[in-house]
Homo-oligomer: A and B are copies of this chain.
Amino acid sequence: MAAPVSPLAVALPALAALPGVRFGATAAGIRYQGRTDLVMAEFAAGTTVAGVFTRNLCPGAPVDWCRAALSSGRARALVVNAGNANVFTGKAGAAVCKTTAAAAAKLLGVPTKQVFIASTGVIGEQLPVERITTALPKLHESLTENGWEAAARGIMTTDTFPKASTRTAQIGDGFVTITGIAKGSGMIAPDMATMLCFIATDAKIPAHALQRLLTRGVAGSFNATTVDSDTSTSDTVLLFATGQAKHPKVGEDGGRILNDFARKLDEVLLDLALQVVRDGEGAQKLVRIDVSGAVTAKSARRVAMAIANSPLVKTAIAGEDANWGRIVMAVGKAGEPADRDLLSIAIGGTWMAREGTVVAGYDEAPVVAHMKGHEIHIEVDLGLKSGKATAYTCDLTHGYIDINGSYRS
């Protein structure tokens, strides 16, 4: 049953306690017995929160719950379950969220609306909420500041390695920590890949400024990655700021004082997003695609994602084939301004096609060598204007078919 660890796995970093955050994990038997499937976090009073969610228009009930809860900008707890995504469950699904939040709120003595919820697992089955409410009291008692690693492992489903990232940032003359964990693109059951990411910092940052940083950071990290072009109904990124660190006051709008914090947050987000791609279903290679020379950054992004999502490009990479013809095809199908006769393409730093034709005397040898590695770099210059963007993906292999083409139960 257990899949081999991804060849692209990275080691779990040391995860120090972060003032104002306590984590715990347990097995609640939500779908399977004896498997950790429930994670809880408690945040210090005064914690602010920001969130970014799936763009899927059929989101799960927990996404609806979090979007509503986010309006106060305050958070005191997080409850995450695996085994059941609580998606396409109608009014009963919304009630499950409320019951879960109320149970956690009662244990902690905090407002129900300051409890955040995320679920991952099968779709269209009612979540047996009593298994969560039964397990919560003991889980609450086990919460600890040293619970980060347990949480990182506890939210794993068919992830083949735990995912975490941590950085120190400076705000004025004060130092703060940013630590995050993520899961995905593993599956439950198997069913649908879902990406969940939870980040905390001991910085004291107003919710409005926090949201601005998170939205911008996700655009350049999680929203610049794709495993298979499908968009889960449950994708969730939450960022909590406990305010326990000492540093100069940050205003409602943040501003320049947060420059270093923003940079380090972006690093944590990109690190976690790439770990998710590295654990993409069946992934054998991590692929970075840089598009330049587009008419706008938005146009460059669309071209980069068209390449990243092309099954023909992804299978060529799996076959270690430097098939730039398929990259030409993917550029053309993006529907963005492009001129075939200005197009240039490089793989692994070797420009194989320049301005619409193959480079004279093109030597495939260094490109073939590059294709055999675990990290593939594709560059496309559209030769039009200065718009640029980067996308990340993995290759498409038999492993993907094995994982997703087998029966659920």
Contact = CB atoms under 8 A, between A and B. Distances in A.
Contacts of A406: 319, 321
Contacts of A229: 229, 309-311
Given A335-B55, A396-B405, A405-B316, A123 B89 contact: no
A365 interface: no
Given A231-B332, A325-B123, A332-B57, A401 B405 contact: no
B319 A407 contact: yes
A335 B57 CA distance: 7
Contacts of A328: 58, 87-88, 123-124, 233
Per assembly, the copies of the chain total 2
A89 to B, nearest CB: 6
Interface in A44-69: 55-59
A321 B357 CA distance: 45
A155 interface: no
Nearest to A309: B229
A232 interface: yes
Taking residues whose C-beta sits less than 8 angstroms from the other chain, chain A's interface range is 35 or more
Interface in A302-359: 309-312, 315-316, 318-321, 323-326, 328-338, 340-341, 343, 353, 356-358
Interface-central residue, A338, A356, A405, by most chain B CB under 10 Å: A405
A100 to B, nearest CB: 19
A337 B231 CA distance: 16
A215 B59 CA distance: 37
B232 A329 contact: yes
A58 to B, nearest CB: 3
Contacts of A333: 55-57, 230-231
B125 A88 contact: no
A191 interface: yes
Interface in A145-159: none
Contacts of A337: 57
Given A57-B338, A123-B329, A232-B329, 9 more contacts: A57-B340, A59-B332, A87-B328, A88-B358, A230-B310, A233-B329, A312-B404, A319-B405, A321-B408
Interface of A: 55-59, 85, 87-90, 92, 122-125, 191-193, 228-233, 309-312, 315-316, 318-321, 323-326, 328-338, 340-341, 343, 353, 356-358, 396-398, 400-401, 404-408
